[in-house]
Amino acid sequence: MASAPDSSALEMDLWPKAKFETDLVTPVSILRRQAALLGEKTRQLVTADVSTDAERGAVTHYFRLVVPALDNYKYELFHMNHRVDELYPVTTYFENRIWKITDQSAFIEWLKSALSSESTLRKVDSLMAQAKG
Amino acid sequence: MPRFLFWNLNKKPVPHLVKEIARGNDVDVLVLAECEIPIGVMLTTLNAETPDFQFAPGQCERIQVYTRFHSAFLAPIFESDRYSIRRLRLPLRDEVLIVMAHLPSKMHFTGESQRTECSLLARAVLEQEATVGHSRTIVLGDFNTDPYEHGVVATDGLHAVMSKTVAQRKTRRVSGHDFDLFYNPMWSYFGDVGNRPGGTYYYEKAEHVNYFWHIFDQVLLRPSLLGGFSDDVKILTMAGGTSLLDRDGRPDRENASDHLPIMFNLDF
Which pLDDT score is estimated for B15?
Answer: 98
Q: Please give the biggest Cα pair distance in chain B.
A: 57
Total domain count for chain B? Answer: 1
**Could you tell me which residues are beta bridge partners of residue B85?**
B78, B99
The partner residue sitting opposite A71, judged by closest CB among B77, B113, B156, is B77
Asked if the C-beta of A75 comes within 8 angstroms of chain B's C-beta atoms, the answer is yes
Domain that includes residue B18, residue range:
3-265
Q: How far is Cα B268 from Cα B266, in angstroms, rounded to an integer? A: 6
From B100's Cα to the closest Cα of chain A, the distance in A is: 14
Provide the residue ranges of all domains of chain A, joining segments of one domain with +: 25-132
Which pLDDT score is estimated for A133?
Answer: 79
Q: pTM of the prediction?
A: 0.91
Measured in residues, chain B has a length of 268
Tens of each residue's pLDDT in chain B, 268 residues: 999 999 999 999 999 999 999 999 999 999 999 999 999 999 999 999 999 999 999 999 999 999 999 999 999 999 999 999 999 999 999 999 999 999 999 888 888 889 999 999 999 999 999 999 999 999 999 999 999 999 999 999 999 999 999 999 999 999 999 999 999 999 999 999 988 999 999 999 899 999 999 999 999 999 999 999 988 899 999 999 999 999 999 999 999 999 999 999 999 9
List Cβ neighbours of B197 (8 Å cut-off, separation of 6 or more). B213, B235, B237, B245, B249, B250, B251, B260
DSSP label of B145:
S
How confident is the model over A87-103, as a mean pLDDT? 93
Asked if the C-beta of A73 comes within 8 angstroms of chain B's C-beta atoms, the answer is yes
Q: Are B216 and B143 in contact (CB under 8 A)?
A: yes
Q: Name residue B108's amino acid.
A: H
CATH number at residue B192: 3.60.10.10
How confident is the model over A10-39, as a mean pLDDT? 86
pLDDT band at residue A1, thresholds of 50, 70 and 90?
low
